[in-house]
C-alpha cells in the first residue's frame, strides 16, 4: 500500500505511476484520499484542541475550588467536552475507513530497475 505521506507530499508521483500502469480510472482516488486525509487532519486538530481545553478547564476548576469560587459554569462546560470528543472520534474512524479503502485500490509504485 502507498504511504499516505507520499500522497500528501508528492501526489504527482502516484498519479504518474497510475498512468504508467494504464489504470487511469484510479486517478480520482488520489484526489479523494487527499481530501479525506485533509478532513481527517482538521478533525484531529479540533479533537486535540478540545482535549487541551478540557485539561485547562480541569485546572481552573481545581483552582476555583481551592479559593471557594463558583465552578458551576466550568463544570457544565467540562461535562460537554467528552461528548464532543467522542463525536469527533467517530467521524475520524469513518474517515480512516474510507481512506484505507481508497488507498487499497491505488497501485503500488513500480520499481525502477537499473
pLDDT, tens digit, for every residue of 56-95? 999 999 888 888 888 888 888 889 999 999 999 999 999 9
Cell of 79: 461535562
pLDDT of residue 108: 92
pLDDT, tens digit, for every residue of 25-68? 999 999 999 999 999 999 999 999 999 999 999 999 988 888 88
CA 10/CA 80 separation, integer angstroms? 40
The full set of domains in the chain, from first to last, is 4-105 (1.10.287.40)
SS3 69: coil
SS3 45: helix
- Cβ(61)–Cβ(71) under 8 Å? yes
Between 110 and 39, whose confidence is greater?
39
Q: Sign (positive/negative) of CA torsion 86, 95, 35, 45?
A: positive
Amino acid at each position: 500500500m502507498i504511504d499516505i505521506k507520499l500522497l500528501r507530499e508528492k501526489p504527482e508521483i502516484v498519479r504518474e505511476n497510475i498512468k504508467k500502469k494504464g489504470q487511469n480510472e484510479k486517478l480520482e482516488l488520489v484526489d479523494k484520499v487527499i481530501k479525506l486525509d485533509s478532513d481527517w487532519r482538521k478533525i484531529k486538530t479540533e479533537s486535540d484542541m478540545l482535549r487541551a481545553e478540557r485539561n485547562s478547564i480541569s485546572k481552573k476548576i481545581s483552582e476555583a475550588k481551592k479559593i471557594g469560587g463558583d465552578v458551576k459554569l466550568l463544570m457544565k462546560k467540562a461535562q460537554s467536552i467528552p461528548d464532543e470528543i467522542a463525536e469527533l472520534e467517530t467521524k475520524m474512524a469513518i474517515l480512516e475507513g474510507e481512506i484505507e479503502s481508497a488507498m487499497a485500490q491505488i497501485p503500488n509504485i513500480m520499481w525502477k530497475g537499473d
